[in-house]
Each structure stands twice: as C-alpha cells, then as structure tokens.
Structure 1
Amino acid sequence: MMDNQAQAGLYASVAQEAAAVVIRRYSTSFSLATRLLEKPVRRHVENIYALVRIADECVDGACAGSGSAPDAIRSCLDKLEQETLDAVAGCYSSNLVVHAFSITAREVGIGPELIRPFFASMRADLEQAGHTRDSFDAYVYGSAEVVGLMCVRAFLLGSPVDAGLLARLDGGARRLGAAFQKVNFLRDLSDDYQDLGRSYFPGITVGEFSDAQKDALLADIEADLAAAAAVIPELPAGSRTAVAAVHALFAELAKRLGAVPARELMSRRVRVPDVVKLRLVAAAWIGQQPAVSGTWRLRRVPLLAALHRSSR
C-alpha cells in the first residue's frame, strides 16, 4: 500500500493528465500549438487552460445546458473561485482540474492578483449584457490578458529574467490575449447576441453592424497583434515557437474575418480550416529551427506527422 506522499504524487499526476484531456478535446488550435512547447512548460499551460475552460463551461456551457438555474450557475462559479484560491494556498482539491492548476500556480507564481480578475470577468457574463469602454477593458483584462500573464510565468520557469524583460513580456502577453479575445468576439458576434443576449463591443449595435465598424475593430486587433509579435523573439526558446504558432492562427482568423462583409458575419461563423491550421503551425515550427542543420531535418518528420494526425 502506498504511503500518503506517494498517493499525493499519483493524484497530482492523474490531475494533470485530466487537464491535458481538456485542452485536447476543447481546442484544436490551442492543442496543436502546445505540442510545440517543451514538456514541462506544456504541462503548466495545459493546467492553466483547463481551469479557464471549466470556468467558461460553468458560465455558458455545461452548467446551463444541464438545466441549472441562474442562481445555481452563479453559486457554481463562486465555489469554483474559492476552491481555486484555497487549492493555490496549499489545500488539496477533489476537483482534478483545480488541483492541477494549483500545482502550476504554486510552481510558477500565479496568485490571487491574477486569479480574482479572471473570475470577476467570468462573473460579468452573468450580470452584464453590454459594456462601456471601461467595463470592456476590465472584462478583456480579466478574461484574456491575465491568462497571458499566467502563461508568461510558466514560460519563464527556471529562466533568469530582469524586471525590464518581464515588463516587456507581460506587455506582449496582454496585447496578445486582448487580440485573441477581440477576434473571438468578432467571430462570435451573432451567436453571442442571438443566443446569449450579449454585445461585448462598446458603442456597437449588433443589428446595425457595419463594414466601417468591422474595419475599425480589425485595425485595433491588428495593432494588438503587431505589438505582441514584436516581443515574441524575447521569449525563452522552449515557448517561443508555440506562441508564434498561436499568433499566426489568430492573425489568419482576423484576416479571414476582414474578407467577410459585416452583414454576412451575422449569419455565418468564420473559421480557419484544419489543413490551414496545420500549415501555419508547421511553418511556425520550421521557422524557429536552425537554417542549416541535419538535426531538424531528422526531427521535423515525426513532429509534422504528429501534427497531421492530430488535425484529422
């Protein structure tokens, strides 16, 4: 029979395996990109994403789909936040995903200053149908930018970094997270409004959405993507390629949204085909390899084969 320490180690392994399943099942794009992370970093990013995903399911997905009343949904989110804070403080959690996140949080330095804003934004979806400029900025910060900041702490684990570099990487992570969220809002404009009764972009009436408004939103997104791209070369080698791949995937989605008239966005959901995702991820990986190296020629075949299998 295992002693308590061995049981705790087994439970930690199982929790993190469960978190990895979440990312594979819920996000093709993100799952593809995380294959380019070094294994220790990948584990932490999977743990972060899994918590983000189940919080979102609590607000918009499985919780509501199971017939839970609004008060029950709010209670579910509140309990998840408190359980997360307790686990990060050093407690065991019977929720496998929360336990996995707490392992990462303690190892890389994620504290309540990043966790609370995330849950505040999730809670806003239960309370607000629209946003002012200030509430929109706060929502994007909590729902997306802090996730980028969490990931930066995972990327930097074990790497020496000075205050100036950390500030630049944090700034780039925030801009990239903001770009991701705004792209998602634009892609899901119709579904958010018609199915959930929400309109995220301040000053925009969804039923009167125009090409000029769409172009202005895309210009803002492109500025975020450009600011983030400028910082990617400063990331540690073990995470740089994956971030470049995710950046490329969302830049491609933004480009495709730009090619669709505003009126059509109200009746169709723009996506990046899997074959294009594969090409972009592969290009990001190859672009980070040495220009002349027999090693990468040997390595790229199994990696690209794995990416191809995952895209089927």
Structure 2
Amino acid sequence: MTREAASAAVTTVEHPTDLALYRRAAHASSARVIHEYSTSFSMATRLLAPSVRPQVEDIYALVRIADEIVDGAAEEAGVDLAGRRDLLDQLEADTEKAIRSGYSTNLVVHAFATTARQVGIGTDLTAPFFRSMRRDLSPVDFSADELAAYIYGSAEVIGLMCLRAFLAEQPVDDACRARLESGARQLGAAFQKINFLRDLAVDWTELGRNYFPGIDPARLTERQKLDLVVDIDADLGAAAEAIPELPENCRRAIVAVYGLFAELSDRIRATPARSLAVTRVSVPTRTKLAILVRATAGWGGGAR
C-alpha cells in the first residue's frame, strides 16, 4: 500500500445516513422514557438480548406517552378533557401513518414505527390499545365484558407486541406461537389487574374510575380482595406455563417480570383491603434486585 493510500484509509470515516442517525436519536428518546418512568421495567429489560431490548423500549415509550396524555402530564399541564381526546387521536393517527410510511416528526412515534415495521406490529394491536386509552377518558363503570375488552387493549396487546419482537428472528410453529400468545396475554392481564388494586386510591378517589364491576372500591371487603387476588394468581399460573417455551433472547427478562408481579400479588394478599384505599403496594428495591438475580440463574418457576 502506498503512503497516499494508507493515509486515505486512515482518514476515511463512515458516517451514518440521515435516516440511520434519525433512527438512533429516536430510539435514544424512547430508551430515556423507560428509564425515567419505570425502575422495574428498566431493570428487567437489561436481561433482554441486545437484539430485542431496543424494540421493547420503543414499544414501552409509545405506551407511556399515550398514558401521559390520558391522566398524567397533559392534565397537569392544563389540557382539558376534549383537548386530551384530540391529542390521543392525533397520536394514534401519527402512529398509523408512521407505520405505513416509516417516518414521523415525533421521535417516540418514529422509534415505535421502526420497530413495528421490523416485527410486524399493525393496527390489529395498536387500535385496541388506543381504544382502551380512550375509555379512560370516559370514567363510567365497566360491565364485565367492557372490562375484558379494556384489559385486552390496555395490557394484553402490549404483551403481544413484545412477543412479536421476541419471535421476529426466532420462528416457532403455529401451536407454540398460540401458547406463547396466550401466556403473553395472561401475563399482561395479571399486571393490569395488579395495578387496579395498587392504584385503587388514585383511580377511585381522584379519577373517579371503578375497574371492578359490582364492587364499591370505597368499601372493598377482604373477601372481595382475596377473590381478585385468586383471579390474578390464576393468570400468573397460566402465564408461567408458557415461559419455558420462550426464546433465549427474552426468557430471563420475562422470568424477572413474572417474579415482580408474583411478589406484588403476594404483598396485596397480605395488605388489608381497607389499606388499599390509602396505600400503594410496592416492592422494595432490595427485593427487586433479588428477583433479578434469581432470574439470571434460570427459570425455576411454575404455576402458582
């Protein structure tokens, strides 16, 4: 190699394309969202394979932004109910358009759309999600059927979105996929039902929401609480049966998430029903770390 050629080789630098750089910035925005909003999920995502971790972060970020429109930062900023409905409609429209086109001026939406296009997430999952978010803007009592539809859109589809990321490069047969989808839905349902009990004080007292058909949240009895916990544990047990079939790229992380939910369920069971109206049950950081350590050692769970 001549001196001139060697010099040229040293000084030549590969620069990312405009779109690659934009995608990198978009994902960095999404990753920041999960780290700011959820220590539990942020810790669990560290157990994901590097190939799927960014995709899960992209999914979480869009979900979080929608939730902040419904009953978080948007309301605190002074946006009225009609304005929040408009913002949610705009976010859904932008998300659908970005999935079709591959581009959005909203960095979080762009990151989500990039992942959605890569793993096959479409309106079959995003539409139920936004429908459930809209339902929270109309806080009237749920019937049993309405609650099931709400849980599907607000939680189960999130599990299905993540599962599509996990399986994008790990194909499975139709029977296995069906079992994994059922497990993803039941794990999502368990998490949502746990949150209903954890957030009882805020949902009922401040937001006027009742997620328990036929139950007065202000007078929740111990028997009613235990019945709800038994239902949660049934979901967790069914979800646990699917975990051994998950690919290696996500299994440890899902074991950790399962462990966190199971711990929360146990703590809710031990908390008097009357206390749930004034106390938000949580898992101490030390216990979370212990659950993560156990998850790294492999799956040792099973039906509860």
Same-fold call, TM > 0.5? yes
Query: How much does 1:128 deviate?
Result: 2.9
- Take 1:288 and 1:218, find their aligned partners in 2: how far apart are those partners? 23
- Correspondence 1:133 to 2:156: no
- Take 2:231 and 2:200, find their aligned partners in 1: how far apart are those partners? 16
Structure 2: unaligned runs, 5 residues or longer: 1-14
92, 101, 108: which is aligned to 1:90? 101
219, 227, 233: which is aligned to 2:238? 227
Partner of 1:118: 129
Partner of 1:170: 181
Query: How much does 1:127 deviate?
Result: 1.4
Runs (4+) of structure 1 moved beyond 2 Å? none
- Take 1:273 and 1:196, find their aligned partners in 2: how far apart are those partners? 26
Name the SS of the counterpart of 1:166 in structure 2.
helix
Name the SS of the counterpart of 2:47 in structure 1.
coil
Partner of 1:24: 35
Structure 1: unaligned runs, 5 residues or longer: 290-312
The CA deviation string for residues 73-95 of structure 1, in whole angstroms up to 9 with x for no partner, is 00000000000000011242111
- Take 1:14 and 1:272, find their aligned partners in 2: how far apart are those partners? 33
The CA deviation string for residues 106-160 of structure 1, in whole angstroms up to 9 with x for no partner, is 0000010000000000000011332110100000000000000000000112112
- Correspondence 1:77 to 2:124: no
- Take 1:218 and 1:210, find their aligned partners in 2: how far apart are those partners? 12
**Amino acid of the residue matched to residue 293 of structure 2?**
A
Q: Is the Cα–Cα contact under 8 Å of residues 139 and 208 in structure 2 kept in the other structure?
A: no
- Take 2:140 and 2:123, find their aligned partners in 1: how far apart are those partners? 26
Name the SS of the counterpart of 2:52 in structure 1.
helix
Partner of 1:303: none
- Take 1:274 and 1:76, find their aligned partners in 2: how far apart are those partners? 35
TM-score by length of 1: 0.90
- Take 2:248 and 2:81, find their aligned partners in 1: how far apart are those partners? 45
Partner of 2:190: 179
Partner of 1:44: 55
Higher Cα Rg, which structure: 2
- Take 2:139 and 2:271, find their aligned partners in 1: how far apart are those partners? 28
Query: How much does 1:190 deviate?
Result: 1.4
- Take 1:85 and 1:132, find their aligned partners in 2: how far apart are those partners? 29
238, 243, 255: which is aligned to 1:244? 255
- Correspondence 1:191 to 2:202: yes
**Amino acid of the residue matched to residue 113 of structure 2?**
S
- Take 1:91 and 1:169, find their aligned partners in 2: how far apart are those partners? 28
- Take 2:179 and 2:248, find their aligned partners in 1: how far apart are those partners? 16
71, 75, 98: which is aligned to 1:60? 71
- Take 1:70 and 1:263, find their aligned partners in 2: how far apart are those partners? 31
**Amino acid of the residue matched to residue 211 of structure 2?**
Y
Change in CA separation of 1:231 and 1:162 when aligned onto 2, cut-off 3 Å: same
- Take 1:52 and 1:198, find their aligned partners in 2: how far apart are those partners? 20
**Amino acid of the residue matched to residue 184 of structure 1?**
N
- Correspondence 1:259 to 2:240: no
Partner of 1:295: none
Query: How much does 1:63 deviate?
Result: 0.6
| TM-align CA RMSD | 1.4
Name the SS of the counterpart of 2:136 in structure 1.
helix
**Percent sequence identity over matched residues?**
54
- Take 1:5 and 1:103, find their aligned partners in 2: how far apart are those partners? 17
149, 159, 168: which is aligned to 2:160? 149
Q: Is the Cα–Cα contact under 8 Å of residues 166 and 249 in structure 2 kept in the other structure?
A: yes
Query: How much does 1:52 deviate?
Result: 0.3
Partner of 2:288: 277
**Amino acid of the residue matched to residue 136 of structure 1?**
L
**Amino acid of the residue matched to residue 100 of structure 2?**
A
Query: How much does 1:287 deviate?
Result: 2.6
Query: How much does 1:288 deviate?
Result: 5.1
Partner of 1:161: 172
- Take 1:143 and 1:100, find their aligned partners in 2: how far apart are those partners? 20
In the comparison of the two structures, how many residue pairs are matched? 287
